[in-house]
Chain A
């Protein structure tokens, strides 16, 4: 029982069975994380490089913890303060890291598709930790894993994704993942932040956030990615918050107990209010906890794909 892929580049390339295999393995790692000794020796012969060309707190710490809990050796690399600023190319940078006998690469990059490019040029297994506005597969896996934990099998479950769908790799990976697991998906937010042909992915579009919330059982609220918006797409953050922010009054007016999720980092008072983010309905910190177990599962399952002879 192993994955059908050598790399984890995107959810798009995974089979539904792959996702279930990752979930079943993560169930076990979650148990391991609740023991007094939260560590297993599975990857003690593996060296992993975390190569981050873009800022990150959660994902990076989560990956590093997952690697250490599996007993792997870890090296960290971030673009600032590296030779990248001296003009080194991506392939050169990574090949230099691999020359030091590294087996797997976890990479975040601001260019969409960068991990695919790399996968064609190097031998090591690559795990995409977010590429531009394209995919963030481990986030989608941990989101779906958290939903499954709370709601059981996701087949037929209704999930709404609210916010900056246009610039969000989390949204795209979530859509692929949820559709593969048989869930129904609606995206919601201002028309300027919803891609024109998003319906082609088999999702519904509902511009009215309240209606979108009334429809769903689970709402995944996304951050407004101001750093990726180089032209004004809505007038002010205050206006966005007023029309598209999720607050307690809105949730109370809906006669349903919707599960609230957010991949972080949260902009409190913009896309989500504190009274929602910190409420009982929110499983935001549960998502972070599950992140380590999911990443352990992915690393563990991909490490078996490694060829010892090369």
Chain B
């Protein structure tokens, strides 16, 4: 097991990601953040809060998206009971930033885009991930904002721990 990001590094990375988002989206007036359930939501909670703090805004449009019903592996894995989807605003014509913790095969993101389109037609969709496992993609999906890039083989696992759920902030690579 190898630590990719410890608590301190993780915080710096989150700060950088939030600043990059603001650099491209300024006031967030036409932009919405959507976290992917279940694990991407911990990251999107942090990012949304940072964006609000840095831009000194009370409110930005922030939602959570469950993609269970859109998965393409319903038959091969154990069936999942979904978490809640909560997108309380219109995404029609907005710039949407999808957020997930680890980008691996790209299948989750494919499902997420399908799920997203069912809520309307965003004018653009961007992808923010904390860890990009490059060279392991099965679909042509690339992130726009990356916290940390790793080269991994398929048997390895990247695990992101969050204080809210796991009592510590850490990103590790498990062999």
Closest to B76 in A: A308
Q: Is the CB of B74 within 8 A of A304?
A: yes
Q: Is the CB of A1 within 8 A of B70?
A: no
Does A76 have its Cβ within 8 Å of any Cβ on chain B?
no
Does B1 have its Cβ within 8 Å of any Cβ on chain A?
no
A24 to B66, CA, bound (A): 13
Does B69 have its Cβ within 8 Å of any Cβ on chain A?
yes
Segment of B27-35, B93-101, B113-121, B125-133 engaged in the interface with chain A: B113-121
Q: Is the CB of B84 within 8 A of A28?
A: yes
Q: Is the CB of A42 within 8 A of B74?
A: yes
Q: Is the CB of B118 within 8 A of A25?
A: no
A2 to B74, CA, bound (A): 12
Whole-angstrom distance between the Cβ of B74 and the nearest chain A Cβ: 6
Contact A304:B84 (CB < 8 A) given known A41-B114, A42-B69: no
Instruction: Note all chain A residues with C-beta closer than 8 A to B84.
Output: 27-28, 31
Instruction: Note all chain B residues with C-beta closer than 8 A to A49.
Output: none
Q: Beta-carbon contacts of A37-69 to B below 8 Å, as 1s and 0s? A: 101111101000000000000000000000000
Interface Cβ pair total, 8 Å cutoff? 54
Residue from B68, B69, B71, B120 with most neighbouring chain A CB atoms (10 Å):
B69
A42 to B68, CA, bound (A): 8
CB proximity to B under 8 Å, residues A255-271: none
A37 to B85, CA, bound (A): 14
Interface size on B, residues (CB 8 A): 19
Q: Is the CB of A304 within 8 A of B69?
A: no
Name the prevailing secondary structure of the B interface residues: loop
Q: Is the CB of B118 within 8 A of A28?
A: no
Q: Is the CB of A31 within 8 A of B75?
A: no
Instruction: Note all chain B residues with C-beta closer than 8 A to A45.
Output: 75
Does A21 have its Cβ within 8 Å of any Cβ on chain B?
yes
Instruction: Note all chain A residues with C-beta closer than 8 A to B80.
Output: 1
Does A35 have its Cβ within 8 Å of any Cβ on chain B?
yes
Closest to A25 in B: B81
A40 to B79, CA, bound (A): 15
Contact A36:B120 (CB < 8 A) given known A1-B79, A301-B79, A308-B75: yes
- 29 residue pairs of the A-B complex, CB under 8 angstroms, read A1-B78, A2-B78, A21-B81, A24-B81, A25-B81, A27-B84, A28-B84, A28-B85, A31-B84, A36-B118, A36-B119, A36-B120, A37-B118, A37-B119, A40-B115, A40-B118, A41-B69, A41-B114, A42-B69, A42-B70, A42-B71, A43-B74, A70-B69, A300-B79, A303-B74, A303-B79, A304-B74, A304-B79, A306-B75
A residues within 8 Å of B by Cβ?
1-2, 21, 24-25, 27-28, 31-32, 35-37, 39-43, 45, 70, 300-301, 303-304, 306, 308
Top 4 closest A-B pairs, CB basis?
A: A304-B79, A40-B69, A37-B118, A2-B79
B residues within 8 Å of A by Cβ?
66, 68-71, 74-75, 78-82, 84-85, 114-115, 118-120
